[in-house]
């Protein structure tokens, strides 16, 4: 008899995750994640508090944006005494590069 | 060329060879390009110079390593200088604490900075190539039609991708879906980049080709182009 707790599946986890993410991020101000990523690509690794002051966002949007980016593997946090340092992952950097390249083409 | 000059050359060559092995092992997929970048050439030159300086010190202090034959001593000194300089360059002299992190201070830090420059040069080239490939594969893909179907199909082709990776991909796609201010074309490209990093170029290309009728903006046009 097959166990109901099987760890492997072909794409079931993806489908559940994308459905959850679409609903969860629905209320997230859509451009906030882009602003965070674009700022991180300019300033590199930075303290979370410092990032918040430069992106000029509401705390809720900022916090939710960071959480979404972190769980999607686009930013990476390291614990420090001041609340944590944050930087783009290589995936995040690829995204920002693609976005910048498309902006350049559009211009 | 006399033996003395050859010994100096050997010391420098050993330094350069050892550091080139370090770069080659770091960039297994792009070793030639990595070695040709300016930071990389500077890195090799610095290591070669360090070995030559080490040989100068060894001779200044008259270290013979217990050997008496002058010809043998010269070659051994060159060999020790070539390898020993690498250890000295990579050693840290002391550590300081910054922001609750222990940071080693020494010449090794300078080498790390150079290696990071090589990283960036290689990454730029990879990004350029990946961008062209993804743009080619995803050029007719409609994000709205593909954001669930294409990843699911790729994952099914690949089989057994870890659930954590699937979960992260789902969250990336969710983020893309809800992002405003990004054109559908760019969303498709970002979807392609996320997929290519997980499943590779060949699987992505095969998947887009196999289900193009369901995910492309104008499948009829593509089909007629292909038939021509």
Does residue B133 belong to any structural domain of this protein? no
Q: Which token pair is A85?
A: 């340092």
- Residues B171-192 have a mean pLDDT of 89
What counts of helices (H) and strands (E) characterise chain A? Answer: 5, 3
Q: Domain check: are B112 and B173 in the same one? A: no
Of residues B167 and B107, which shows the higher confidence score? Answer: B167
Domain assignment present for B123:
no
Chain A residues closer than 8 Å to B151 by CB: 11, 14, 18
Please give the pLDDT value at position A21.
83
Query: By the CB < 8 Å criterion, does B102 face chain A?
Result: no
- pLDDT value of position A61: 84
Cβ distance of A34 and B168 shorter than 8 Å: no
CA–CA distance, B195 with B202 (Å, rounded to integer): 11
Q: Which domain holds residue B164?
A: 138-227
Whole-number pLDDT of residue B122: 76
Token reading at B187 = 């969303």
Whether residue A68 and residue B175 make contact (CB cut-off 8 A), yes or no, is: yes
Shortest distance, CA A20 to any CA of chain B (angstroms): 8
What is the model's pLDDT at position B141?
Answer: 94
pLDDT digits (tens, 9 = 90+) for A40-73: 988 888 988 889 888 888 888 888 889 889 989 9
**Per the domain annotation, does B130 fall within a domain?**
no
Query: Does residue B199 lie within any of the structural domains?
Result: yes
Domain count across chain B: 2
- Sequence length of chain B is 228
Q: Give residue for tokens 């792009």.
A: B30
> Do B146 and B100 share a structural domain?
no
What mean pLDDT comes out for the span B224-228?
Answer: 52
Q: How many CB pairs under 8 A join A and B?
A: 127
> SS3 of B64, please?
coil
How many other β-carbons are positioned within 10 Å of the β-carbon of residue B88? 15
Q: What is residue A63's predicted lDDT score, i.e. its pLDDT? A: 87
Q: Are residues B98 and B13 in the same domain?
A: yes
Query: Touching check for B184 and chain A: CB below 8 Å?
Result: no
Q: Summarize pLDDT for B203-219 with one digit per residue, the tens.
A: 999 999 999 999 988 76
Preferred mutation among A5, A16, A17, A104 to probe B, highest tally of B CBs within 10 A = A17
CA distance B133 to B120: 20
The residue whose two tokens read 């602003």 is: A35
DSSP state of B91: -
The pLDDT value given to residue B224: 55
Residue B22 and residue B56 in one domain: yes
- Percentage of chain B surpassing pLDDT 90? 34
Are B170 and A98 a contacting pair at CB < 8 A? no
Domain-wise residue ranges, chain A: 29-94
* A22 → closest Cβ in B167, B178, B189: B178
Is any Cβ of chain A less than 8 angstroms from the Cβ of B130?
yes
| Range B47-75 average pLDDT | 89
Q: What ipTM did this prediction achieve?
A: 0.80
The pLDDT score that the predictor gives to residue A104 is 63
Give the pLDDT band of residue A29 (cuts 50, 70, 90).
low
Which single residue is written with the structure tokens 């369901």?
Answer: B214
Structure confidence by residue, pLDDT tens digits, B66-109: 888 888 898 999 999 988 888 888 777 777 776 666 777 777 77
B10 — pLDDT class (breaks 50, 70, 90)? very high
What is the per-residue pLDDT for A6?
A: 46
Q: Quote the CA–CA distance of B86 and B24 in Å, as a whole number.
A: 16
Q: Which residues contact A94 (CB under 8 A, 6 or more apart)?
A: B127, B130, B193, B197
A100 inside 8 A of chain B by CB: no
Whether A21 and chain B come into contact, CB under 8 Å, resolves to yes
Q: Which residue(s) pair with B96 in the sheet?
A: B103
pLDDT digits (tens, 9 = 90+) for B110-160: 788 888 888 777 777 777 788 888 999 999 999 999 999 999 999 998 877
Report the distance separating Cα B175 and Cα B168, nearest Å.
11
The mean pLDDT of B33-50, rounded to a whole number, is 86
In CATH, which of 1.20.1250.20, 1.20.1740.10, 1.10.1500.10, 1.10.10.10 is domain A29-94?
A: 1.10.10.10
Given this model, what pLDDT does residue A28 score?
Answer: 61
Q: Do B97 and B190 belong to one domain?
A: no
pLDDT above 50 (res A23):
yes
């Amino acid at each position: 008899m097959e166990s109901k707790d099987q760890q492997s599946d072909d794409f079931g986890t993806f489908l559940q995750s994308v459905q959850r993410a679409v609903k969860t991020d629905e209320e997230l101000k859509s451009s906030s994640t882009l602003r965070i990523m674009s700022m991180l690509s300019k300033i590199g690794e930075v303290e979370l508090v410092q990032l918040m002051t430069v992106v000029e966002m509401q705390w809720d949007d900022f916090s939710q944006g960071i959480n979404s980016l972190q769980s999607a593997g686009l930013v990476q946090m390291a614990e420090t005494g001041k609340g944590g340092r944050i930087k783009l992952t290589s995936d995040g950097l690829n995204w920002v590069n693609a976005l910048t390249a498309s902006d350049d083409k559009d211009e | 060329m006399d033996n003395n000059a050859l010994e100096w050359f050997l010391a420098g060559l050993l330094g350069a060879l050892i550091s080139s092995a370090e770069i080659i092992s770091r960039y297994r997929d792009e070793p030639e390009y990595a070695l040709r970048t300016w930071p990389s050439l500077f890195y090799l030159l610095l290591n070669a110079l360090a070995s030559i300086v080490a040989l100068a010190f060894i001779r200044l202090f008259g270290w013979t390593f217990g050997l008496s034959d002058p010809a043998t001593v010269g070659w051994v000194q060159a060999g020790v200088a070539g390898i020993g300089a690498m250890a000295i360059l990579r050693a840290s002299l002391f550590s300081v604490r910054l922001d609750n992190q222990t940071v080693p201070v020494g010449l090794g830090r300078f080498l790390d900075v150079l290696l990071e420059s090589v990283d960036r040069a290689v990454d730029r080239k990879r990004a350029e190539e990946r961008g062209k490939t993804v743009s080619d594969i995803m050029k007719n893909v409609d994000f709205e039609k593909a954001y669930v179907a294409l990843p699911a199909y790729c994952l099914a082709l690949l089989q057994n991708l870890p659930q954590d990776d699937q979960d992260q991909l789902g969250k990336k796609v969710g983020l893309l879906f809800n992002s405003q201010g990004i054109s559908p074309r760019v969303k498709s490209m970002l979807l392609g980049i996320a997929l290519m990093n997980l499943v590779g170029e060949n699987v992505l290309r095969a998947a887009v080709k196999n289900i193009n009728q369901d995910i492309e903006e104008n499948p009829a046009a593509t089909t007629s182009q292909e038939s021509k």
